[in-house]
Structure 1
Amino acid sequence: MNDHEFLRVYDFVDRLRRPFLGVADVEDEAAWRIIHYLMRSELEGYPVTISKLALVSNLPHGTAIRRIQGMIDGGLIERRAASETAKRFTLHPTARLSNLAINYAAETKALIAEIVGGRNNEEHEADYYFGAPQRGSPIIPPINLLTSRVTKGVELQFLLNDDNYFAAMRNMWSDFRNNLASAKSFKLVHQNDLYREGLANGARAVSAYDMIAIDMPWLGEFASKGLVLPIGEVIRDSGINPMDFHPSIWSTTTWQRVEYGVPIYCTIEVLACRSDLFDSEGLALPRTFDDVISAGRAFHNPAAERYGIAWNAAHRPLASSFMFFLGCCGQSVLSIRRTPTGYSTENLDAQHMRPQIDSEAGLLALDYMHRMLEIAQPDALDAHWDDSCAVFLRGQSAMGYVWTMRAAQFEAEVRSAVKRRVAYVPQPSGPGGTNTSPIGGFLLCIPSNIDPKRLPLAAEALAWMASREAMKEHVKNGFPVAPRFSVSADPEAIGSSQLVRFVGSLANRNLLRNWQRPPVPFYTGMERIIGEEVHDALSGHKSDRAALKDAQDRIERLVDRAG
């Protein structure tokens, strides 16, 4: 090491440690250990006692107690009683200490990004992401994208759903080492706003985005209105191999036999079961509607805040539930073509888009939903997907219908009460049906009104985001997406998640289905009608037969208006 390098390293260390004086009055190892341990425990939800904090400091006990007491007197640490009657107390960072610690982390992040990542020191720290250390082979970003940003200042613009997966994607792009984009290039919005903004963007002369995400069932509407580009040629030139995707998953990219996007992630709705509770009662995991109700009644104990099932029965998720349960009874919501394995959404015409809700299968699905309400949490009729997931996460239910993307929280969430206590099964079958596993998720599409000069970069970005390497990285970070066989079969990916193994087994056994929510041009209107009418039936405002008839009639008129 020469003198120049030696001085540069020491200057970096000095610059790195100096801001910590703004957090604690002294900048020594004991102050660092105390504050680091206290902040980490607060974020992870672990109680901290004064004796534990003194031990962590590595100071002599008396010195440590005096140091901690000084920080309490100085307004950095506060005592809180463990309960109203307890004499013991726990220690927590004050709001002042939390703000100082966060500011220090931001300064440190900016300094490392400036020195290691080559980021401009005038760029706001919120515009890039401090990623985890890269282990093994790093993901190599496309050189054209990197060159365009560095030399020409060109940043691709994305419209995405506001969820954990797309937040992780934004972080990967804005990682200070990749230097591909800034966080402000990613617009993450709620699913309803994503739909509205996607339609509004299509009305613009030139798209505001180079890439948009659309919910899989929206494809028929976006494609038939000409809002997204056919990308078959892009796929062939990019090296993306459709054969590496499960056929049911790849078929979600196709409307009337034309490919319009790439499945960026898939999520499967399954039944999560508390394996510890089922084992303690000697019960087999449910395979049918009746099994679910029987097990739910055995575990349901509202007085102890324990429910048979966590269920989301607000209007929008309720529409999906009804279509899935109808599929479990062997029937599709529309008169789409039957196949040996279910139904096909390919090459639909007017006669294959008629509703068939007012049926015996519809009554069976509603009967099951009524019985589930009896064993669900009290506010089920107002619960959305995240609400019911939270009930299960807290350990308050024995079962729960859940998308695998959200189910990842059960093992990854610090405060999960069900960690390592969950088993997953395909959706239980209804009378005359099978154990179906409905596919959901998002497609990445290129807007049809994209600036032609930006299309090559958008195509390269799409290929990289859907690559095996990028998807594997997301799986390793806790997102059980695995729409590609090569990812779900990868030993490292399989070892990282029980859900990856489960979804991979469903794919290998050909148990994934995409026809329960057919991607017809009037899907969103049909979804709204079903949600309203089924909710009226479950809340007692209409009889089941009246609700099904009204839904059937309203969707018939919707189909006629759609031509």
Structure 2
Amino acid sequence: MSEKTFGKYTKGTVARLLAGLSVAACLASSAVAQDAGTLRVLISQSPWLNAFVSLVDEYQAETGTKFQLDVPPFGGMVDKTRNSVRAETGSYDIININAQSLAEMYAGGFLKPLKEIDASFALPKGVVDFGGSAYWSAEKNSFDPNGELYGVPTNGNVLVLYYRSDLYEDAGLQVPKTWDDLIANAKALHNPPETYGFVARGTRESILFDFSPMLFSFGGSYFADPQQGDYSITLNNLQGLQALETFIKLNKEYGTGNPGALEQAELIQLLATGKAAQGTAVIAAVADLQDPNKSIVTDTIETALLPAGPEGKHASVAGQWMAGIPKNIPEANQQAAMKFLKWFLEKETQVAYVEAGGIPIRSDLADTALAGDPNYRFIKAFSENADVAQMNTPMKEGVRMKEVISLYLNRALIGEISAKEALNGAAQEAHDVLTAAGYKLTPPKML
């Protein structure tokens, strides 16, 4: 494949970007910015970046289209996106948007409805829409499969269960079907400091994401009925309390001893070094865990559907990325961006994406060359969790909701306040924030 311009860097620089250097590619000049033969893409430093770049390389070789990528750290994505879509002329033809910021971009009217670019376009059958999050209803102020199509999924990041098959076999354990099963397995495998029975992220930055599947599977929810526009807070009910107490028990009794400080890089390291017997992490972590240069458990680390709650309900959380095409770019650029995204969704393209280390956005790859290859055995767990993935804060104030709720969840996890106090406090503050923003809500009932 030909070498491409990667900002002012070449493709070989991707490895250094992923190593955490705070650098980003230089943007195209104003002359290039108006050239529909060059696609300007905003994408974060992430585990799936290399795979995306490999497809960009292939598309360039096939079509002659040039690419200009801006690759900031994850924390810089929101500001770059906001600045570009609010400018008179945007800096990017394609912006990759994390799940947490999708509603803000959709509701703000910053993106071009995809059918206005190509009236015949629809997400192909087999492409996962991650809880309807490719669509937005202005009337309901919510994601809605019957709404306007704005997004094309570019990375299918969902939370899954990771476990050590060798430890399970030695202890005579089965893959857990329920959270109670998982607790029993964690108890059997917990032997600190040699082995921890269970790990999950608990920092204020990440706890909402890792807690959400447990909340949903217990029958709980953050809001009453988002798809109908009712954002009344429902977090602090008996289902929410049971879920949070279970989450705290798992992490405090069978974790590292400091669960409130555990972040993604350390969690993946615990799994990769064999220190963690099982845990929850995003499916994108599988690339590192199956890489013999980074992991000693490449052949024994397995993935599975997250356990069910008391009533048998399985749930995961949608942490996907969606590509959007801004309104404030020339029509020719919009057409070029649409052409690339349609190619990206093709089944054959997605097979190449997975082979390059990416996480697919299609659930129909079981009949492809990937089937039966042990290197891609994670696809089954990805598809199962993607099918039950939900958005946790599906409104334009989603980032603020995450900040409010996460603070209280973290405080409960570290033992600063009780689970009941955390849920009541989070519910009241979230209610106050949304009421001040103009939402008409039913006040939360305190536990």
* TM-score bracket relative to the smaller structure: 0.7 to 0.9
User: How far apart are 1:124 and its partner, in Å?
Assistant: 10
What do the CA deviations read for 1:286-325 (whole angstroms, capped 9, x no partner)? 222222222112211224x311112211112101122221
Measured in 2, the distance between the counterparts of 1:124 and 1:157 equals 9
Specify the SS of the correspondent of 2:424: helix
Q: Which has the larger radius of gyration?
A: 1
Aligned to 1:264: 154
User: How far apart are 1:461 and its partner, in Å?
Assistant: 2.0
Q: 1:119 to 1:210 in 2, by over 3 A?
A: closer
Measured in 2, the distance between the counterparts of 1:302 and 1:470 equals 44
Measured in 1, the distance between the counterparts of 2:406 and 2:3 equals 51
Aligned to 2:402: 527
What do the CA deviations read for 1:147-193 (whole angstroms, capped 9, x no partner)? x99xx7942111112113233322442468566435xx211223332
Number of residues of Structure 1 aligned to a counterpart in Structure 2: 407
Counterpart pick for 2:56 among 162, 173, 182:
173
Matches within 5 A, 1:77-476: 126-128=9-11, 154-174=37-57, 177=61, 180-181=65-66, 185-234=68-117, 236-237=119-120, 241-246=123-128, 248-249=129-130, 251-256=132-137, 257-303=147-193, 305-336=194-225, 346=227, 348-349=228-229, 352-372=230-250, 373-476=252-355
Q: 1:442 to 1:475 in 2, by over 3 A?
A: same
Measured in 2, the distance between the counterparts of 1:205 and 1:314 equals 38
Q: 1:124 to 1:430 in 2, by over 3 A?
A: closer
- What residue identity is the alignment partner of 1:251? G
User: How far apart are 1:263 and its partner, in Å?
Assistant: 1.0
Q: Structure 2, unaligned stretches of length 5 or more?
A: 15-30, 138-146, 439-447
What do the CA deviations read for 1:449-502 (whole angstroms, capped 9, x no partner)? 123342221221222223323222111223232x22443432335535001233
What do the CA deviations read for 1:214-241 (whole angstroms, capped 9, x no partner)? 1124222111111212113445545x54
Segments ≥4 residues shifted beyond 4 Å: 117-120, 128-131, 174-179
Measured in 2, the distance between the counterparts of 1:118 and 1:520 equals 40
Measured in 2, the distance between the counterparts of 1:430 and 1:316 equals 25
Specify the SS of the correspondent of 1:448: coil
Specify the SS of the correspondent of 1:487: coil
CA contact (8 A) 1:244 1:485 kept: yes
Identity %: 20
Measured in 2, the distance between the counterparts of 1:163 and 1:493 equals 26
Measured in 2, the distance between the counterparts of 1:124 and 1:308 equals 43
More displaced 10-residue stretch of structure 1: 206-215 or 360-369? 360-369
Q: 1:533 to 1:165 in 2, by over 3 A?
A: same
Measured in 1, the distance between the counterparts of 2:214 and 2:381 equals 21
Q: 1:490 to 1:458 in 2, by over 3 A?
A: same
Q: Determine whether 1:490 maps to 2:372.
A: no
What do the CA deviations read for 1:200-227 (whole angstroms, capped 9, x no partner)? 2222111110100111242221111112
Q: 1:125 to 1:225 in 2, by over 3 A?
A: closer
Instruction: Answer 1 or 2: higher relative contact order, Cα 8 Å, separation at least 6.
Output: 2
RMSD: 2.9
Q: Which has the higher helix share?
A: 1
- What residue identity is the alignment partner of 1:214? I
Matches within 5 A, 1:20-31: none
Specify the SS of the correspondent of 2:255: coil
User: How far apart are 1:401 and its partner, in Å?
Assistant: 0.2
- What residue identity is the alignment partner of 1:524? V
- What residue identity is the alignment partner of 1:542? I
User: How far apart are 1:128 and its partner, in Å?
Assistant: 4.5
CA contact (8 A) 2:117 2:335 kept: no
CA contact (8 A) 1:316 1:531 kept: yes
Q: 1:261 to 1:491 in 2, by over 3 A?
A: same
CA contact (8 A) 1:199 1:227 kept: no
Aligned to 2:144: none
CA contact (8 A) 1:272 1:399 kept: yes
Specify the SS of the correspondent of 1:214: strand
Counterpart pick for 1:541 among 404, 416, 426:
416
CA contact (8 A) 1:494 1:500 kept: no
Measured in 1, the distance between the counterparts of 2:162 and 2:399 equals 27
Measured in 1, the distance between the counterparts of 2:320 and 2:160 equals 14
User: How far apart are 1:532 and its partner, in Å?
Assistant: 0.3
More displaced 10-residue stretch of structure 1: 288-297 or 201-210? 288-297
Aligned to 1:555: 430
Measured in 1, the distance between the counterparts of 2:243 and 2:163 equals 21
CA contact (8 A) 1:312 1:381 kept: yes
- What residue identity is the alignment partner of 2:401? M
